[in-house]
Structure 1
């Protein structure tokens, strides 16, 4: 039988290996997407925000389902959307007792550093729906700022006006 200490050390090593690989993969994937010449514009809205997909990432899962990596390039108001998200989260969660006028400097700096997001979606062309499989928000150097693992399943979503053309362009 292994002692509790041995079990803990094994668990800790496995945990560190898995998370270290994820961090490296996230940064490498984000830089690869930005430097890739195989990006194709899906749509651009009136604010100048753009949604691209990586042609190499497009995978057919079934007759009506696709999986794809999307690159979302927001505009300056992304930091305000991020701040609003965190303020709303604190008001609506158990953090109510810690209400203060503004967010902590660390959180504000993170929100202000956001430049682009990479989403991995599964698209159902028949039902015209999508499911977020994974996502990450990055700064201008390609460093991961927020990920699905660190924040949860909802954060800053891609605006609906950018998504409208997604089905027309990818479900051919």
Structure 2
């Protein structure tokens, strides 16, 4: 999280802009999940191992890590591919693994940077349907950055920005 040039960032009762680096690290680990456009999966690890890695940093025991990683992969419909490495998965499957990794710690907020940017239109729609379902059924909050107008159709609130300034805000 980059500190603001002015003002404060508040999430719940936390003043993000006033936290030390260690406090920010703990906050990210305990409250945030991240979905990247480029997936950021470790090529030598299986889908399950990539998802479980997030739990390793949280100090979760190995047997619980495996169980929770499998649960997260079930949520994204990939439990049958849990033993596959990223090179053995399609782009959409790799993105779903990265979504499972973002969900495995049960974060309050998931930050998604162009989550469909590297995907074809059909796979993009499938991914956004899944994110929409997770928002509705699992009460997950997603903050999505995108240039794709089709992606915004799945969002309850859309904020348009230009050159770092808010141009408009629309609730859907």
TM-score by length of 1: 0.23
More strand by share: 1
